[in-house]
Chains A and B, each alone.
Chain A
Amino acid sequence: MIKKLFLIILTFSIFTFPNEVFAAASTDPDFKVAFIGDSSAGNNFQNVLNLIKSENAQLVLHQGDFDYSSGPQLWMDKINNTLGPNFPYIGSDGNHDNWDTDGFAAFFKDRLAKMGINSPVSLPSSYSLVYKGLKIVFSQENGDPSFISSQLSGDTHTWKICSWHKNMASMQVGGKGDEQGWPDYETCRQLGAIIATGHEHSYQRTKTLTNTLTQTVDPICPNPNSLCVSPGRTFVFVSGLGGNSIRVQQRCLPTTFPYGCRQEWAKIYTSDQGATYGALFIIFNYQGNPNKAHAYFKNITGAIIDEFDILATSGTPPPITPSTTPSTGGKPGDANNDNIVDGIDYVVWLLNYNKNTTQGPKEGDFDRNGIVDGLDYVTWRNNFGR
């Protein structure tokens, strides 16, 4: 009976969910995007393009360093011959790229036009677009936080991507230094955008972070393979195995999970882990859930190296240092005890759904019956916005 009631309420709630949670527009269903960087234009890149084609990606976001002087035309020819001259393919300016003089700006401008997107006569290296419901902001080399902020503030898209080439030393596990600047990272985190980078020639991905500068893992969304993205929290990845080279892990040793540093890394794939070239694929609006995405990194031998889910929500970020004891008072439905029953409390409930717990409201068990279930959802729903 309770299960039936829950299903009825859940179905009803899909259509009546509070605006603060579901007002956002998601992408086309099962919209698959490939993320690569640092490719050059040789056989390794060709193999990565073949992989992208075989995975049926619908868009490529290249995080910079395209041809490495092997010839921009050769690089473009490989894309045209493999994916087609009209395939949606756009990218970030890298330190090895001559954005204007080598024709990359014109190449991407042409692709944007074929995607139905108008762009300035001369495409700058900071630009933004919406394609198939995905908001994408490219930031120029060494950072452009004011541009990012202008493009993402007030944006209502469920899924937002920040893309640039370079890193901060703590946001990669190789030998790169502080180059892009923290304001880019923190602006994107605050505005709830996934952060896609390249530059270091390996693959690595963080857990959900509530602060990139301090590499603070979200205490209420700590699962390395179930990430949360909302204003105030996101994750960062480096996808730099596009074909040019493969490097070793220098930071955050050891080379096996849970790794070192602050345990902020969910997956590291370098020469030390036997890496070869590949791409990260993210499928947005996954299997009928507009707020869910599924992601995997696949290498050119067909091996899936990393696989994880992402849940996008709105609402305010969770407190960085929550109470270590279950809340005993507070409002019904207020999981994080911030005195507001909002989307973040729903996420807490969702992440713990069907779980036995003694933590009470802190883990979404609002009626304290020891299990996070549909009745707790009803409690949250009835108190939302209070």
Chain B
Amino acid sequence: MVVIIVLIIQSNTAPPKPSSDAASKKIHTLADGYPLLPIYPGAKIDKSQKKSEQGLIGYLSRMTSNDKVSTVMKWYRQNLTAAGWAEITPPEFPDTDKSLFAQFQKDKMNMNLEVSQEETPETEILISFPLQAP
């Protein structure tokens, strides 16, 4: 598998400061061709998947962070917007800390972002690109 190295994009929009010291720059391993995205500082990637069918391509990545759900979602909303992503569906209760969902779009590319805390202490960050034309 070809590995893509994605550098964290540090935004000038003064996001909430992550708790991790490794926030500034970190190397993440994502699936081949994974779209360039801001990656939450200190987030650990534990799954990345690419799928392709009939000329359509989709991606999925699962990361974890020790920060709160609302903190992570706020950071993504700021940094994705700064990176040119339009927020199509904002989270319904952005200040809560169990499960938040938002949808973004850039250059006709759709992306789902779900940040939640399940039954482990970590916060789960699920980023998915449903099957779509490349």
Residues of A participating in the B interface, judged by any CB pair closer than 8 Å: 40-44, 68-70, 95-96, 175, 201, 244-248, 250, 253-256, 270-272, 274
Identify which of B51, B62, B98, B114 gathers the most chain A CB atoms within 10 Å of its CB: B98
B11 at the interface (CB under 8 A from A): no
User: Looking at chain B's contact residues, is the secondary structure mostly helix, strand, loop, or mixed?
Assistant: strand
The contact of A271 among B47, B92, B99, B112, by CB within 8 Å, is B112
Listed A/B pairs (6) with beta-carbon separation below 8 Å: A40-B92, A42-B93, A175-B126, A244-B99, A255-B53, A272-B130
Interface size class of B (residues with CB under 8 A): 20 to 34
The contact of B53 among A41, A245, A256, by CB within 8 Å, is A256
Contact B60 A250 (CB under 8 A): yes
Query: In this complex, what residue of A is CB-closest to B131?
Result: A272
Instruction: Determine how close the nearest CB of chain B comes to the CB of A146; give it in whole angstroms.
Output: 23
Known: A175-B60, A256-B53. 16 other contacts (CB 8 A): A40-B93, A42-B92, A44-B92, A68-B98, A175-B62, A244-B101, A245-B114, A247-B126, A250-B60, A253-B51, A253-B53, A254-B53, A255-B131, A271-B112, A271-B130, A274-B130
Contact B58 A247 (CB under 8 A): no
Query: In the complex, A324→B78 CA distance in Å?
Result: 62
Contact A245 B93 (CB under 8 A): no
B118 at the interface (CB under 8 A from A): yes
CB within 8 Å for A248 and B99 given contacts A42-B93, A175-B62, A272-B58: no
Q: Using Cβ atoms and an 8 Å threshold, which residues of chain A touch B21?
A: none
Query: In the complex, A256→B55 CA distance in Å?
Result: 14
Q: Using Cβ atoms and an 8 Å threshold, which residues of chain A touch B92?
A: 40, 42-44, 70
Instruction: Determine how close the nearest CB of chain B comes to the CB of A263; give it in whole angstroms.
Output: 17
The contact of B128 among A42, A256, A271, by CB within 8 Å, is A271
Query: In the complex, A68→B62 CA distance in Å?
Result: 20
Query: In the complex, A244→B126 CA distance in Å?
Result: 14
The contact of A70 among B62, B93, B119, B131, by CB within 8 Å, is B93
Identify which of A69, A175, A246, A253 gathers the most chain B CB atoms within 10 Å of its CB: A69
Q: What per-residue 1/0 map shows which CB atoms of B45-75 lie under 8 Å from chain A?
A: 0010101010000101010000000000000
Q: Using Cβ atoms and an 8 Å threshold, which residues of chain B touch A95?
A: 118-119
B87 at the interface (CB under 8 A from A): no
CB within 8 Å for A245 and B112 given contacts A68-B93, A96-B98, A253-B53: yes
Contact A247 B114 (CB under 8 A): yes
Query: In the complex, A207→B44 CA distance in Å?
Result: 38
Instruction: Determine how close the nearest CB of chain B comes to the CB of A181; give it in whole angstroms.
Output: 15
Q: Using Cβ atoms and an 8 Å threshold, which residues of chain B touch A70?
A: 92-93, 96
B 89-107 contacts with A by CB, 8 A: 92-93, 96-99, 101
Query: In the complex, A96→B119 CA distance in Å?
Result: 9
Query: In this complex, what residue of B is CB-closest to A40?
Result: B92
Instruction: Determine how close the nearest CB of chain B comes to the CB of A230; give it in whole angstroms.
Output: 35
